[in-house]
Amino acid sequence: MPTPLPPLTVFDVETTGLDPRRGHKIIEIAGIRIENGSIDETKSFVSLVNPERDIPWEAKRVNKISDDAVKTAPGIEEVLPKFLEFSSGSILVAHNATFDMGFMEIEKQLCWGYVDLPDCLCTMRLSRALFPTEFGHSLDAVARRLNLTIPAARHRALPDVLLTAHALMKMMELGEIASIEDLQAICGIGVKA
């Protein structure tokens, strides 16, 4: 018998660049819970993160996060464990999960080895499986395909999380996905860096 969907935590990170192996850092993490098949906006997590370096102008242009905004924010060694506590008991979900998990994998090293990252489902993989003849699978392309409103504050973690959560719910409905086994088979559980 298929297992009903457990709680999910849809999350997103904003960063100083595209490659954590080149010293780019997380500057914002957000997450929202999906429980009992519904997005629960009362259960959300959002925090800026002090990257302890300047944010390049290219990143500022995309995510609109300034050096001043993160100057007094806690470091990743404080924020990542709090986020993982928030997401405890759920399966992580991200759009282009390899990107987000890649950053978290590198950044967890600053948490003195006390942090284990759970597996993560990827909504980009879900989009590719459900729409194999479509070319674009970015979050914007998926949102347009599903007739979802793209938030004005796109490329900030919490608006991106909400958009991803709504896209996930709509794709699960379109794909008639009702069990965790179906979702894992399509999304590729176990996405790591």
Q: Please list the active-site residues.
A: 155
Task: Using DSSP, state whether 53 is helix, strand or coil.
Answer: coil
How many C-beta neighbours within 10 Å does residue 157 have? 27
DSSP 104-154: HHHHGGGGTT---PPPEEEHHHHHHHH-TT-S--SHHHHHHHTTPPPPTTT
Give yes or no for a contact between 33 and 40, defined as CB atoms under 8 angstroms apart: yes
C-beta of residue 121 within 8 angstroms of C-beta of residue 188: yes
Distance (Å) of CA 128 to CA 34, 123, 144, 175? 22, 9, 15, 12
Residues contacting residue 21 through CB under 8 Å, at least 6 positions apart: 106
At what angle are helices 76-86 and 97-107 packed, to 10 degrees? 130
